[in-house]
Amino acid sequence: MPRPNTLRVVLIEAAVAGLLVVGWQVGTTAPAVADVTETASVSAGPNTFSQTQPTGNPSQYDSQLERCHTGPSYPPITPNPILAEPLTTAVQSNLPISVKVVFEGNQWYGTTKLVFTNRSAASYHVDCAVIIFRGPSNADQHYYFNSAPTGHPQSDYLEVKKGDGTSFYIVRLGFHDVPLAQRTTLPGGTFAWQIGGAPAANLSLAQIRDSIRFYGDLNLAANTGLVQKYATQRLAN
């Protein structure tokens, strides 16, 4: 049987070893990371298209190039006409795209990103393009992304709540003060629109994807009829 002093040393050494083991376990615990889930990509739109190219220079605000550098905030319409429209259940587009939806976060908060790819062999600009989709209500951030350098456009924007925890979102991209190249998506290039907020339990990522309507500006009319119809509000960058 060990002597009392020897026993004390043994107990102290055991305690220190235990602390070292616990400390190693705490120090090597992997940090929490957000879950990332995404849908499969689906294709929409025609295989060929014609799009009028704008004339003018950046910051020449009376030119075709700067036709969406600013936009009015229309008086609200109650009820908004989008509430009376049938739900979109398959992606619609007037330009050749493929699109998927990517969610990063958890059940309390995350970002939902609509990722578009130019699936054609020709470039097209997305200036004044309108994106309409259904997503979780109360989005608290709105961002545009492009795989090419971009002027980070402003947007004409509206959220219309459906009343079930989901909302319709209407967005028109409004580039300004950058050359046409920074408003353009190359073949195989991507661009995206992202919102942030809590996910909706009654709306899957596939349903968000399938609700997307994309309207490129093909004739320099700036999709004015759509933003007037839904009464969007101009947001800054």
- Confidence check: pLDDT of 23 > 70: no
Q: pLDDT, tens digit, for every residue of 72-102? A: 999 999 999 999 999 999 999 999 999 999 9
Sequence spans of domains, the chain:
1-31, 32-235
- Confidence check: pLDDT of 206 > 50: yes
Instruction: Lowest mean pLDDT of 18-32, 44-58, 126-140, name the range.
Output: 18-32
Q: pLDDT, tens digit, for every residue of 146-162? A: 666 666 688 999 999 99
Q: Which residues pair with 104 in a beta bridge?
A: 36, 111
One-letter amino acid at 108 equals W
| Whole-number Å distance between alpha carbons of 200 and 86 | 20
* pLDDT reported for residue 34: 56
Helix (H, G, I), strand (E, B) or coil at 70: coil
**Rounded to two decimals, what is the model's pTM?**
0.84
